[in-house]
Structure 1
Amino acid sequence: MAVVSLLPTCALAGTDGFRNTMRQETCDTVRYMVAYDMTYVNDTTKAEWERKTEPMRLEIGDKSTKFYSYTAYLEDSLNAKREARGEQLATYTADVTWQVYRNYPKEGSFTFLDDLIAMNYYAVTEPMKSPEWTPVADSTATILGNECHLATAWYKGRRWFAWYADDVPIDAGPWKLCGLPGLILRAYDGGRQYVFEATAMRQVADGTPIMYQGLDYEPVTFSQLMTQYERYYADPIGYLALFTPGMMTADDGKSASELNTPKNLPFNPIELAE
C-alpha cells in the first residue's frame, strides 16, 4: 500500500477546536489523515460560475471516519485559546461549516452536522447507503503517486465520478462517497459544481482521537434541515432576527424585516433531494 506522507502532524485536528463550548466525545482513533481541496460553486444562476476552494480533512479510524473543513477547525482552535484568555472571539470566515461522520454515533449510518449563524446546531443521522458504482473500463490516472481507476454512480441527487486507488485498500472518501475497493482521491459531480482533490495523506500512529462534536446538536431529518437552509438563504437577517429579536434593530428603530437587507442568496447544497 503506497501512502504518501506529505501531511504534517500539526494538520491533525485532535481535541482542540470545533466549537469547544459544545460537548464532544471520542469516537475512534485516527489511523490515516487525508487532505483534500474542495472546489465548489455556490451560485449556479450566473453565466460565469464563481468557484471557491475550501481545504478539507478526512480522518480515518478503525471503524469511523470524519470529514470537515480545516479552515473551520483552525478558527475554532483560535477562538478556544482566545476564550481561555478572556479575549474577544474572532469572527468566523470559513464558508463550510458542516461535518460528516460515518459509523458514528450509530454504526451503519452517516451523521451530517451543520450550524446556521453559529446558533442553531442540527444533526441528521441516516442509514448509510453507499453509491452503486459502475467501473469505467480502461480508465487510469496517477494521483499522489497512486494508480487510480474511475467509477461512476448516481448518488444523493448528482452523478458522481470517483477516482480510487487500488493500492490503498481503504473504503473511504470525501463527504459521503465510499463503497469502492480503494481510497477515493479525486471525485466530482457531472457539472463539476463540487470537486474533491486529494493533496496529501499520511499514516497516523500517535493515538490522535477522532472527536464527535454532535452531542448538543438538535436531531432533525434531512427534509427539516433543508427547510432551515431555505429559510436562512431566503432572508438571512430575518432568520437571525427570529432568534435574536432584541438585537436586530437599526439605529432608527426599524426591525430587520423593514431594512433593505439581502434576500434570496444563492444556495447550492452538495446533497440534493432524490
Structure 2
Amino acid sequence: MLILSFAFCSAQELTDKFKHKATYEMTWQIDSTDTESVQSETMIFFSGGGQSTFSSEGQHIGDSIQKAYKKLERTPQSFSEMRSKIPKTEFNYYITKDLASREVSYREEIVRDYYEYTEDFSNIDWRILPETKQIAGFAVQKAKTSYAGRHYTAWFTTEIPISDGPYKFNGLPGLIVRIADEKKFYVFELTGFKVLKDPVFDTQANEEYLETDKSSFLEIKEDYNANPIGAMEQTGISFQFEPGQKEKLEKERRARLKKENNPIELE
C-alpha cells in the first residue's frame, strides 16, 4: 500500500551555510554478472552547521543551471540553451543528513514529482578496527559495517573531524575517505576536500516533496522503471511515435532493466 502525503518541505532548515566540499569518485558495477559493466561518476558532498547534502556533480550543476534560467524569460530558445548546458548523470537523487536529529533524507525526482523518505542513523552500526594506513595523503583508520544487504569496509580520517561521508554513510569519528562493499560493486573514494571560500546554501532548499516511506518509494520507482513512457503519459506528457517505434523502445528498456540488476541497496 502506497503511503504518500503532500507537504511543502524545506530540504534543510539551515542554521548555517555549507562550509566544506568533498569530491568522491563513485565506481559501480551495473550488472552483477558482467565485470565489463563498471562505470564511474563524480559525486559531491557539502557539509556545514551539523548538516550535509550528497549528490552527483551532474545533478548539482544541472539544478543550479535550471534555477538560474528560472529568472529569465521563458522561450523555446532559452529552454534549448538550458538543456544543452545540463550535464548527463546516472543519479538524480539528493541525500541530506542532520546530525542533531540523527536523520537522513533521500529525495529523488520521478517524472515531474519529487519524492522524499526519511530514515534514522541507528541502522548503521560501525565496528572500528585498529588497522591504519595512508590514503590520499590522509592518515586513515579501518571500520566495518553492514547496510541494506551489503557488507562494507570504510577508511576514515580524524584529520577532517566531520562525522559523515558519501551516500548515507555517517557516524565515524572523522570523514570517510574510502568505502566499498566486500565485492567492490560499489566504491566511493575521496578525490578532493576543501574549505569553501564562499560558503553556499543547499540547492534543494524550498522544493516541494511528496513525503512517503522507503518501501512505497521503491514501489513507485519500480513501476516507473517498468514503464517510463506510460508513467510520463499519465502526467500529460505526449509523444509522437513512428509506427513500431514505441514497441521498439519498450523492448530495449526491458532488455536494459535485465542488466541493471545490482542496486546499491539490496533490502
Report which stretch shifted further, 152-161 or 25-34: 25-34
Q: Distance in 2 between matches of 1:271 and 1:181?
A: 24
Question: Paired residue for 1:95, among 75, 90, 99?
Answer: 90
Question: Paired residue for 1:176, among 161, 168, 178?
Answer: 168
TM-fit CA distance, 1:85? 5.0
Q: Percent identity?
A: 24
**Cα displacement string for residues 245-264 of structure 1 (whole angstroms, at most 9, x for unaligned residues):** 6x145245x895x5652343
1:38 aligns with 2:26: yes
Name the structure 2 match of 1:5.
none
1:249 and 1:255 in contact (8 A); partners too: no
**Cα displacement string for residues 73-131 of structure 1 (whole angstroms, at most 9, x for unaligned residues):** 22233344445253024165211111111118x822111001123x1211011222252
1:33 and 1:204 in contact (8 A); partners too: yes
Q: Distance in 1 between matches of 2:171 and 2:66?
A: 37
1:33 and 1:201 in contact (8 A); partners too: yes
Greater percentage in strand: 2
TM-fit CA distance, 1:192? 1.4
Name the structure 1 match of 2:103.
109
TM-fit CA distance, 1:165? 0.6
Q: Which runs of 5+ in 2 are unaligned?
A: 1-8
Q: Evaluate the alpha carbon distance shift between residue 196 and residue 32 of structure 1 in structure 2; reply closer, same or farther with a 3 A threshold.
A: same
Q: Distance in 2 between matches of 1:154 and 1:26?
A: 30
Q: Distance in 1 between matches of 2:230 and 2:55?
A: 28
1:238 aligns with 2:230: yes
Q: Distance in 2 between matches of 1:111 and 1:175?
A: 11
Q: Distance in 2 between matches of 1:211 and 1:74?
A: 9
Letter of the aligned partner of 2:29 in structure 1?
V
Letter of the aligned partner of 2:211 in structure 1?
P
Letter of the aligned partner of 1:190 in structure 2?
E
**Cα displacement string for residues 16-73 of structure 1 (whole angstroms, at most 9, x for unaligned residues):** xxxxxx97666231122111111112222x4334122121111111221111111112
Q: Evaluate the alpha carbon distance shift between residue 32 and residue 133 of structure 1 in structure 2; reply closer, same or farther with a 3 A threshold.
A: same
1:174 aligned counterpart, secondary structure: coil
Name the structure 2 match of 1:69.
56
2:162 aligned counterpart, secondary structure: coil
1:140 aligned counterpart, secondary structure: strand
TM-fit CA distance, 1:202? 1.0
Letter of the aligned partner of 1:52 in structure 2?
Q
Q: Distance in 1 between matches of 2:125 and 2:157?
A: 18
4+ residue stretches of structure 1 with deviation over 6 A? 22-25
1:41 and 1:51 in contact (8 A); partners too: yes
Q: How many residues align?
A: 245
Q: Which runs of 5+ in 1 are unaligned?
A: 1-21
Q: TM-score, normalised by structure 1?
A: 0.79
Q: Distance in 1 between matches of 2:218 and 2:103?
A: 19
